[in-house]
A and B are shown apart, each in its own frame.
Chain A
Amino acid sequence: MVREEAENGRDDMLIDGDEPEQMKLDYALPDGFNADYLKVYYGKIFPYVDMSKWLSYGNDGKHPGCDHSYLGRREFSFTLDNDIYVRFQSFNTASELEKAIKEKCPFKIDIGPVYSVDPSKRHAYSQGGDNIFTPVEKELVFDVDISDYDDVRYCCSGADVCLNCWPLMTIAIKVIDTSLRDDFGFSHVLWVYSGRRGVHCWVCDGKARRLTNEQRAAIVDYFRVYKGNENSTKKVSLVGPALHPFLVRSYTEVLKDYFENRLLSSQNLFLNEERFEKILEMIPDESVTSELRGKWLSNKQSDVARWDQLKRLLQSSKQKGQGLRRCIEEIVFSFTYPRLDTEVSKHMNHLLKAPFCVHPKTGRVCVPINPKNCDEFDPSAVPTLSQLLRELNSGSFRGEGDNEWDGTSLGDCVRYFRESFLQPLLKSCKEEIEASYNAKVQQSRNSISW
């Protein structure tokens, strides 16, 4: 975990989650990552224009209502070669940003909040008694790591991921994305592959960027069903007379389907005694568990058959009350429901890795994921640094104009980012700027005429 302290914020900072173990270099050269490749990537492929348009949110100088200081108040942090970590970088214009990235060639770029004042000049402002250097805006972000699912997947562990466990990420995208849009009413939601073991989500609506820490925490808690730590048997506890409709919808539309039709057999959740005992532990009724245990120890059956038996037995023992019936849902939730790294979402001053970075351990580009067809996303098919360079060198299909990415397999990713995310976002930003400008003009007119 990389920890840094904001000069004024009391909260600890977490950057891109927790990495408890030294990672194996699974993806070593020659097909991997090195500083020279990265220089070429930043020199020719990285989509600066789209990135700075995104982070300017329409404050690009054309409209009289624009806030010209907006981009310059955003914190960027660079992780340089040799793990040198430079915080509180800021850039007034898109070209300054581009120049700095090309020059410093950061292994990782993190995006922080928009502060009240230019973060690179924060010391100048801290001289006076009142500390006015404070975060004022930040996308609402989420971070889901596959390594947090180690107790419910048997194919991989730690940072490793394969097509058998990746559906856990797909579930997370579907559940969270639907709720962000339908429940919370957000429309500009960007999902990004984190480059190795998970996904990031950026909610970019103006309303989302201006949420207070308390409101962020409330949304995180709305999504939270995991209680209990390593030492409790039940990881999920669904209490109350009824499940909240959000949970019911997630269950009926996503969780149940993925559990029964994918994970049950791809993870072999009932394969052996050790595995099915973990599930039986969640059933608080001795007679049910011993009956199932007896059957399963004496017979070999498929995971699906065992699950059906368990369901039938629990549903038939209605007289024992709702607690036992809720078990089925609790088991499904335990094995499928999204596990968020909550800290990064709760505080405005946390940083998160920028889209289109290249993950130094895998060489994969952090590409956007379209939530509408996230089922088809395959992390192992993501464009890698070396692949992009090969395509660039072969030069057989050169794109038009300056967009060298256009001719590479990153082209579709940038196009998705631009057309499905950026354009609608900028449209609503412009409307917002227009509206608040008109309101201001109206107000000053009124005061003059008075």
Chain B
Amino acid sequence: MEAVRSQRKSSFSNGGGGGVSTLPIYRSAPPLEVRLEDFELYAVDRLRVLKRISDGLSRGKKPDEMEKLVLDLWKTNMRHEHSSEVVNKDIISHFVLRLVYCRTEELRKWFLSMETTLFRYRFRDESPEIQRALMAEFDLQYKAVSNAEYENLHRIWSIYIGCFGYSYDQEIWIDWVPFEEVPELVAGRRVLIQKGNAYIAMNQAILCLLMKHPNDVLISIYQLLKWTSMIREQEKDRLTPIVEALSTSYLGPDYSQPREHAELSLKDIDQIAKSSFPLCMRHLFDKLREDHHLKHGGRMQLGLFLKGVGLKLDDALAFWRAEFSQKVGAERFDKEYAYGIRHNYGKEGKRTDYTPYSCQKIISAAPGVGDHHGCPYRHFSEENLRAALTRMGVGNRAMEDVMDKVRNRHYQLACTLTFEAVHNSTCDAGVNHPNQYFNDSQKIFESKKSSSNPKGAAAST
């Protein structure tokens, strides 16, 4: 099958000229000497790129917008005064960040997904020859579809083709792989699957490679994990502080511990939910009070948030029991649901202290029928969202601003505007985390209280 001919001149094979791929596949750590300053500087530059990509994704940017964003970000942040150093900077920064982000599952996932996005768009920007060469470098198994196979494929599917005014033979199906190798393409229904073989259109074939890519990265991350436990001690005056600072400075706090001295008692919870919960949590809270039940996703989203807000385990158990027992009975609650709550607090199972969900995680949730979790700005219909915002006390004019952001899929900005409308105050940092929303809200109420009641302020210091 004929591959699409490139417009660009490529001379990948002989290694000279302007068509050489500058895209490394990060197979192994570079045998380079790195100055300590560069170690940190390069990593910070790359992290800036990844962080902005993450913002772009959570705002629901479309693929073509993302492509532009990613390539621009790359050009502005990953330059180097010596062109020969550009590739080294790329490789070094990647491996430094692997080191930084290998520590927890959550960090690993974030890093992998951002690196994959970055790689995808950089890959797409390469010429087909270079893409092929990279695929070969990755050792990806694929076969070109033979004519007979193509005929067969076409025959089987063609009776369905055209039903919706679109013909599948416009695309050229060139490659097939076992479907297990391309889970992301299967999940997105971006391949034809026939008897276990995924047939991939030329323009999707590149994605194949990315499926391999994260796995390679993951494997080496696990190798790194062992290494870090070893070097942490040895390097405690040199690399360790840099690595640790990097991992917290850009991701922000994880809100697994409540603010200092913050404690939420059960008697205040209704009033505080009304004043300081973001809509996603307020909605879950109200639904729980109303239905005396939440499905799993809702229990996780609200439960971990409440933990971050300062609800102690015993209070949390009492809180959930009071609601659920009205629906399923106290006995069933103790038997089936209490475990999950203790689990969230790290008292069962793996005993991990789970962190509250961030906006990004909530926005990317996929709630189904009967679910109430997720981000209301993304998952509610316009009508329901308007009603919910009215209940929160958002006025007409602010409402239109919020809806405007929602229509452009800036969900976190919509939430920020809601915050500002409800609190009659600005929120410069924007909303990135429900617990941050809560903390900022509480701060505003505290400062209002102390300015109107100077005695109270004095007593609390």
Contact, CB under 8 Å: B295 / A18: yes
**C-alpha gap A345/B283 in the complex (Å):** 28
Chain B, range 381-418, C-beta contacts under 8 Å to A: 381, 383-385
Q: Which residue of B lies closest to A83 (CB)?
A: B335
Chain B, range 331-371, C-beta contacts under 8 Å to A: 332, 335-337, 339-340, 343, 348-350, 352, 366-371
Q: Name the contact of B374 in the complex, choosing from A6, A182, A229, A339 (C-beta under 8 A).
A: A229
Q: Name the contact of A5 in the complex, choosing from B180, B192, B349, B374 (C-beta under 8 A).
A: B349
Contact A245:B157 (CB < 8 A) given known A185-B197, A221-B186, A229-B369? yes
Chain A, range 239-292, C-beta contacts under 8 Å to B: 241-249, 252
Any chain A CB within 8 A of the CB of B241? no
Any chain B CB within 8 A of the CB of A375? no
Chain A, range 279-335, C-beta contacts under 8 Å to B: 322
Contact, CB under 8 Å: A246 / B193: yes
**C-alpha gap A243/B167 in the complex (Å):** 11
Chain B residues closer than 8 Å to A4, beta-carbon distance:
339
Q: Which residue of B lies closest to A221 (CB)?
A: B187
Chain A residues closer than 8 Å to B30, beta-carbon distance:
none
Q: Name the contact of B372 in the complex, choosing from A3, A224, A230 (C-beta under 8 A).
A: A230
Contact, CB under 8 Å: A214 / B183: yes
Any chain B CB within 8 A of the CB of A234? yes
**C-alpha gap A148/B369 in the complex (Å):** 7
**C-alpha gap A1/B340 in the complex (Å):** 11
Q: Name the contact of B370 in the complex, choosing from A8, A148, A244, A245 (C-beta under 8 A).
A: A148
**C-alpha gap A207/B196 in the complex (Å):** 10
Q: Name the contact of B327 in the complex, choosing from A2, A21, A242, A339 (C-beta under 8 A).
A: A21
**C-alpha gap A178/B111 in the complex (Å):** 38
**C-alpha gap A233/B348 in the complex (Å):** 38
B35 to A: closest C-beta gap in Å = 36
Which of A18, A211, A232 has its CB near the most chain B CB atoms (within 10 A)?
A: A232
**C-alpha gap A235/B168 in the complex (Å):** 27
Chain B, range 272-320, C-beta contacts under 8 Å to A: 283, 293, 295-296
Contact, CB under 8 Å: A227 / B348: no
Q: Name the contact of A322 in the complex, choosing from B105, B165, B194, B348 (C-beta under 8 A).
A: B165
Q: Name the contact of B369 in the complex, choosing from A215, A226, A247, A322 (C-beta under 8 A).
A: A226
Q: Name the contact of B296 in the complex, choosing from A1, A6, A212 (C-beta under 8 A).
A: A1
Q: Name the contact of B381 in the complex, choosing from A18, A211, A232, A249 (C-beta under 8 A).
A: A232
Any chain B CB within 8 A of the CB of A127? no
Contact, CB under 8 Å: B186 / A339: no
**C-alpha gap A230/B348 in the complex (Å):** 31
Chain B residues closer than 8 Å to A322, beta-carbon distance:
165
A10 to B: closest C-beta gap in Å = 6
Contact, CB under 8 Å: B195 / A185: yes
Q: Name the contact of B168 in the complex, choosing from A14, A184, A245 (C-beta under 8 A).
A: A245
Any chain A CB within 8 A of the CB of B188? yes
Q: Name the contact of A231 in the complex, choosing from B189, B352, B384 (C-beta under 8 A).
A: B384
Contact A245:B160 (CB < 8 A) given known A184-B179, A229-B367? yes
Which of B184, B196, B340, B369 has its CB near the most chain A CB atoms (within 10 A)?
A: B369
Any chain A CB within 8 A of the CB of B163? yes
Contact, CB under 8 Å: A218 / B184: yes
Contact A217:B183 (CB < 8 A) given known A1-B336, A231-B372, A232-B384? yes
Any chain B CB within 8 A of the CB of A125? no
Contact, CB under 8 Å: B188 / A221: yes
Contact, CB under 8 Å: A20 / B328: yes
**C-alpha gap A342/B384 in the complex (Å):** 26
Chain A residues closer than 8 Å to B348, beta-carbon distance:
5
Any chain A CB within 8 A of the CB of B379? yes
Any chain A CB within 8 A of the CB of B161? yes
B112 to A: closest C-beta gap in Å = 12
Chain B residues closer than 8 Å to A245, beta-carbon distance:
157, 160-161, 168, 192
**C-alpha gap A252/B164 in the complex (Å):** 11
**C-alpha gap A4/B342 in the complex (Å):** 12
Chain B residues closer than 8 Å to A184, beta-carbon distance:
179, 193, 195-196
State the interface size on chain B (CB cutoff 8 A).
57
Q: Which residue of B lies closest to A210 (CB)?
A: B180
Contact, CB under 8 Å: A231 / B380: yes
Any chain B CB within 8 A of the CB of A36? no
Contact, CB under 8 Å: B381 / A234: yes
Chain A, range 193-242, C-beta contacts under 8 Å to B: 207, 211-212, 214-215, 217-219, 221-222, 224, 226-235, 241-242
**C-alpha gap A427/B27 in the complex (Å):** 42
Chain A residues closer than 8 Å to B295, beta-carbon distance:
18, 20
Q: Which residue of B lies closest to A341 (CB)?
A: B368
Any chain B CB within 8 A of the CB of A376? no
A240 to B: closest C-beta gap in Å = 9
Q: Name the contact of B379 in the complex, choosing from A186, A217, A222, A228 (C-beta under 8 A).
A: A228
Contact, CB under 8 Å: B187 / A252: no
Chain A residues closer than 8 Å to B296, beta-carbon distance:
1, 12, 14, 18, 343
Chain A residues closer than 8 Å to B184, beta-carbon distance:
218
Any chain B CB within 8 A of the CB of A449? no
Contact, CB under 8 Å: A235 / B369: yes
Which of B105, B184, B370, B385 has its CB near the most chain A CB atoms (within 10 A)?
A: B370
**C-alpha gap A243/B165 in the complex (Å):** 10
What 1/0 mask marks residues of chain B from 235 to 269 whose CB sits below 8 Å from any chain A CB? 00000000000000000000000000000000000
Chain B residues closer than 8 Å to A2, beta-carbon distance:
336
Any chain B CB within 8 A of the CB of A183? yes
Contact, CB under 8 Å: B168 / A218: no
Chain A residues closer than 8 Å to B352, beta-carbon distance:
10
**C-alpha gap A151/B283 in the complex (Å):** 21
Chain A residues closer than 8 Å to B384, beta-carbon distance:
231-233
Q: Name the contact of B187 in the complex, choosing from A7, A211, A218 (C-beta under 8 A).
A: A218
What 1/0 mask marks residues of chain B from 132 to 161 whose CB sits below 8 Å from any chain A CB? 000000000000000000000000010011
Contact, CB under 8 Å: A248 / B160: yes
Contact, CB under 8 Å: B195 / A3: no
Q: Which residue of A lies closest to B348 (CB)?
A: A5
Q: Which residue of A lies closest to B190 (CB)?
A: A244
Any chain B CB within 8 A of the CB of A22? yes
**C-alpha gap A14/B383 in the complex (Å):** 34
Q: Which residue of A lies closest to B385 (CB)?
A: A231
Q: Which residue of B lies closest to A4 (CB)?
A: B339
Contact, CB under 8 Å: B187 / A10: no
Contact, CB under 8 Å: A218 / B366: no
Contact A252:B370 (CB < 8 A) given known A228-B379, A229-B379? no
What 1/0 mask marks residues of chain A from 140 to 162 whose CB sits below 8 Å from any chain B CB? 00000000100100000000000
Any chain A CB within 8 A of the CB of B18? no
Contact A215:B165 (CB < 8 A) given known A222-B189, A245-B157? no
Q: Name the contact of B376 in the complex, choosing from A3, A221, A231, A339 (C-beta under 8 A).
A: A231
Contact A219:B195 (CB < 8 A) given known A21-B327, A232-B379, A233-B383? no
**C-alpha gap A224/B194 in the complex (Å):** 18
A-B pairs, top 3 by smallest CB distance, nearest first, are A185-B196, A242-B166, A218-B183
| 8 CB-based A-B contacts, threshold 8 Å | A1-B337, A12-B296, A182-B195, A215-B180, A218-B186, A229-B374, A235-B369, A244-B189
- A229-B371, A232-B379 known; 17 new pairs, CB 8 Å cut-off, are A1-B337, A8-B350, A22-B328, A183-B193, A183-B195, A185-B197, A207-B196, A215-B183, A217-B187, A222-B186, A230-B369, A232-B384, A242-B168, A245-B157, A246-B189, A248-B163, A339-B369
Which A positions have Cβ atoms within 8 angstroms of B?
A: 1-8, 10, 12, 14, 18, 20-22, 83, 148, 151, 182-186, 207, 211-212, 214-215, 217-219, 221-222, 224, 226-235, 241-249, 252, 322, 339, 342-343
